[in-house]
Amino acid sequence: MAEIPKTFRAWSLLENGIEHLQLIEREIPQNLGEHDILVRVRGAGLNPIDFKQCIWGSGPFDQQFPRSLGEDFSGIVVKIGGKVDPNHFRMNETVVFSFGGFKDETGSFGEYKVVDSRHVNLVSHKIVQSRGEHIFTDLAALPAAGFTALACVQNKLKLPIHKDPQSISNRYTRNIFVTAGAGGVGSFILQLLRLWRENNFDEHEKKNIRIITSCSKNNFEYVMKLGATHSIDYNVEDMCARLKEILEGDQLDVWIDLVGKESAQRGSDCLGFRGELVVVFESDYSPKLYPFSQTVHNVALGQYQFLGAPKHMKDYRLYGELLLELYYKKQIEIEKREIKLEEVQQALIEISEGHTRGKIVMKI
């Protein structure tokens, strides 16, 4: 096993503002917590929350500076804490990935990271060997976006991605709209909805299942490959008017919003009777609802670490196991662009502009 260096390079936020993000030298933590592991990072996924942590100055993100950034990662275990099972995390041969944590002292945008082993997924050798050199960036692209997609589809909407004849949701849900389907979270949601449609309905029933998404016109072919049955160009088309045309007199059952407050409000206006609105990322949204008809779900996985119980943190590992299974069986594919450690700051600015396709992943 290679010797662990005394220092490593990592991005650190010196004060609020993306312009204050700097690549610095940090000391390798010498004393691990009893459940911690030290990981040599090989890949790290970039997410909207990473940019938001650069500009939010209050609430759970009002931390002391300098502040580490980066939640998603994959890599190799190089050191373990005193109560970590050495038979489970075998050093220098085990690949792991995790959703990280807002409270971690070391973020994933660096060469090494300390993380609580209880929140990490062990990746089997068969998965590592099946994907070759791209395995680390593939794995780093999965957690936050994939976990959020699972929370939307399975946890909130109760739509089974495997065959489930007893599912009540299968009886009522037919028309689903997903904003920003070409983005990181949207691309996973479309693939999960495709599995739901393929595994739970016969050929005749599938014709009545509409999975609609918004994206730019140049991404139409891409989102249809992911699982969309219809696409809407958000640059030139009126969402609600176009949805009415597609539905041909039927009503919209679900609006999954990945954009923001105004888009979520538009979703409430477009939904039909007993419609369900799933809001991701927008924590201060106050919906205008029709009495006794619509339901609003809010998805904010990171808040588990501040407001949830230990049982909620276990969701990360459960989601991770399911995503790894889907990834190994090639039931979900990953669209990604690889960048270098030195390019993280510019990539976060690009993500903040909201026009990325798939995932951006740092490779070391």
As a three-state string, the secondary structure of 89-143 is CCCCCCEEEECCCCCCCCCCCECEEEEEHHHEEEECHHHHHHHHHHHHHHHHHCH
**How far, in Å, are 273, 282, 303 from residue 169 at the CA level?**
15, 25, 26
pLDDT recorded at residue 305:
64
So where are the chain's domains? 7-142+310-363, 147-299
- Strand, coil or helix: what is 171? helix
pLDDT recorded at residue 61:
52
Please name which of 143, 162, 166 lies closest in space to residue 153, comparing C-alpha atoms. Answer: 162
φ, ψ of residue 275 in degrees (nearest 5): -75, 160
Class of domain 7-142+310-363: alpha beta
pLDDT recorded at residue 109:
97
Nearby residues of 286 by Cβ (< 8 Å), 6 or more positions away: none
138, two tokens: 């593939």
- Rounded to the nearest 5 percent, the helix, strand and coil shares of the chain are 40, 25, 35
CATH number assigned to the domain with residue range 147-299, chosen from the 4 options 3.40.50.300, 3.30.360.10, 1.10.3470.10, 3.40.50.720:
3.40.50.720
pLDDT recorded at residue 80:
93
CB 243 within 8 A of CB 214: no
Nearby residues of 218 by Cβ (< 8 Å), 6 or more positions away: none
Fold match, 7-142+310-363 / 147-299: no
CB 223 within 8 A of CB 182: yes
pLDDT recorded at residue 59:
53
**Mean pLDDT, 10 residues at a time, the chain of 364 residues:** 89 92 95 93 94 72 76 93 86 72 76 90 91 91 95 96 94 95 97 98 96 98 98 96 96 95 90 93 60 80 68 81 96 97 97 91 97
Name the strands in the sheet holding 67-68, side by side, starting at the edge strand that comes first in the sequence. 21-27, 7-13, 67-68
Note the pTM of the prediction, 2 decimals: 0.93
